[in-house]
Amino acid sequence: MTGGRLNGVDADREAQLLFRVIDTISAGLDLDLMLQGVATLVTETTETDVCFVHLLDEKGRALRLHGATPPFDVLVGKIELAVGEGVSGWVAEHGEPVVITDDKTADPRYLYIPALRGEEFTSMLSVPIVTPLGHLVGVLNVHTRARREFTGADVELLRSVAGLVAGAIENARLHRRLAEREEALESFAERIVEWQERESRRLAGEIHDGISQRIVSLFFHLSAAADAIAAEPGDPAVAAEQVARAQELAGAALDETRSAIAGLRPPVLDDLGLAASLESLGHSFPGLDVRVEADDLRMAGHVETAVYRTAQEALQNAAKHAAAESVRIRLSRHAGRAVLEVSDDGTGFDPVAAVPAAAPGGGVPQPTGLGLSGMRERAELLGGTLELTSAPGRGTTVRLAVPFSPRGHPGPGPARPGTPGWPAHRPR
């Protein structure tokens, strides 16, 4: 095609391309299949030899190949460029198209990638893929083996195609995130049900094996005391001994009852608030030197419970698995977020190798209860994030960030990572 492409047959071909692109992106295909279909349409209609579609990652730092015409389709997902690297990276960084007619190696922006066999192609046109709102989502490139002078009309046609594709890419990503969210919610619901069943069995076992047995013994001791008092003549010493034993059993049963109730909802949260509850929690681990710095944050009850449980699970992990000697807990507020950090000086581990729920005896130190994946899902349901940082021999840090709002007020959007380091506090 040449500069006269917009007239006669070429104008019809342009319209046909745009309509076929619309049909392709409306067909309900997954993202990679859709992009490969678009790449094929572009090369067929523009009489180019190969087309590459690079998408910007969610962090906006790198471009990854997501669509390509054969034989390069096998490289999808395997080629990645940093923004600013190569011609595609330059287009992503500056938001402007690039035309190279020949001698690509003389262009300082060009980066040779052996797998893409750039030496086989002479001319190229690269355009940014931008949404109507101006958000960059990727870069679209076409290449020709024969020398080709891409015209302004060629550039505009590719930009039109890129504009159509941009909206489809954003929609596909939104649908994928929604599907992942729904899947996470389903998984979280299943884990919650399993956890509730385990907690119910645990509580029933504690009541049956502990509290109820003590009450039965208490009944017998009180009966013995009553018999001793009613005997002729009465024996005050025996009665006093039975009453004393009954008092011990009553106290033990009361302690177990309180412990069982605390396992469901920490009453200390209602009595003292979250900050003081974290201080109290630290004192309940006598084998650890726990230092706490906690701002007095008052949030919705379920949020405070989630924060408290996260700290509790992290401390249990440090005590049982990490061989830690000291732990630092910090609770603070940053830019609309409540941030909890629990850092220990234990053995640490490789988070990549850790599975969501290690088998008993597997030796993988990770939070108890719902496990690390469950903790993350719980954080996400609160609109927050949970991050785990660890390395062998360098300890472990659990960081929970959730939207902060006073009780009775809706919270802000999801939290973002990044908080200052640990400040020391008074030793326990």
pLDDT of residue 294: 93
The DSSP secondary structure of 255-303, one letter per residue, reads: HHHHHHHHHHS-HHHHHH-HHHHHHHHHHT-TTSEEEEEE------HHH
Indicate the average pLDDT of the chain.
79
The model's pLDDT over 115-140, given as tens digits with 9 standing for 90+, comes to 999 999 999 999 999 988 888 999 99
Highest mean pLDDT among 160-174, 256-270, 383-397: 383-397
- The confidence score (pLDDT) of residue 420 equals 33
Q: Which of 405, 388, 406 is nearest to 397 (CA)?
A: 388
Q: Give residue 203's pLDDT.
A: 73
pLDDT at 126: 95
For the cut 50, the answer to whether the pLDDT of residue 422 exceeds it is: no
Helices (H) and strands (E) in the chain, counts: 10, 11
Among candidates 405, 407, 388, which has minimal Cα distance to 341? 388
C-alpha to C-alpha distance for 156 and 277, rounded to whole angstroms: 63
Q: Is it the case that residue 114 has pLDDT exceeding 90?
A: yes
90-95: average pLDDT: 94
> What are 301-350's pLDDT values in tens digits?
888 888 988 898 888 888 888 888 999 999 999 888 999 999 999 988 88
Q: In this structure, how many other beta carbons lie within 10 angstroms of the beta carbon of residue 164? A: 19
* Cis preceding linkage at 108, omega within 30: no
DSSP 411: -
Of the listed ranges 25-29, 173-177, 314-318, 413-417, the least confidently predicted one is: 413-417
- At 88, is the secondary structure helix, strand, or coil? helix
Which tens digit of pLDDT belongs to each residue from 199-229?
Answer: 677 777 767 767 777 777 777 778 877 887 7
Burial of 212 from C-beta contacts in 10 A (0-12 / 13-18 / 19+): middle
Of 10-24, 232-246, 290-304, the range with the lowest mean pLDDT is: 10-24
Q: Which carries the bigger pLDDT value, residue 354 or residue 230?
A: 230
Give the pLDDT confidence score for residue 370 in this predicted structure. Answer: 42
Please state, in angstroms and rounded to a whole number, the distance separating the CA atoms of residues 348 and 358. Answer: 15
Residue 195's pLDDT is what?
A: 67
Report pLDDT digits (tens) over 151-185.
998 898 888 888 888 877 877 777 777 777 777 77
Q: Is the pLDDT of residue 3 over 50?
A: no
Average pLDDT over residues 90-113: 94
The larger pLDDT score, comparing residue 22 to residue 101, is at 101
Per the model's pLDDT, the better-predicted residue between 380 and 276 turns out to be: 276
Highest mean pLDDT among 89-103, 197-211, 272-286: 89-103
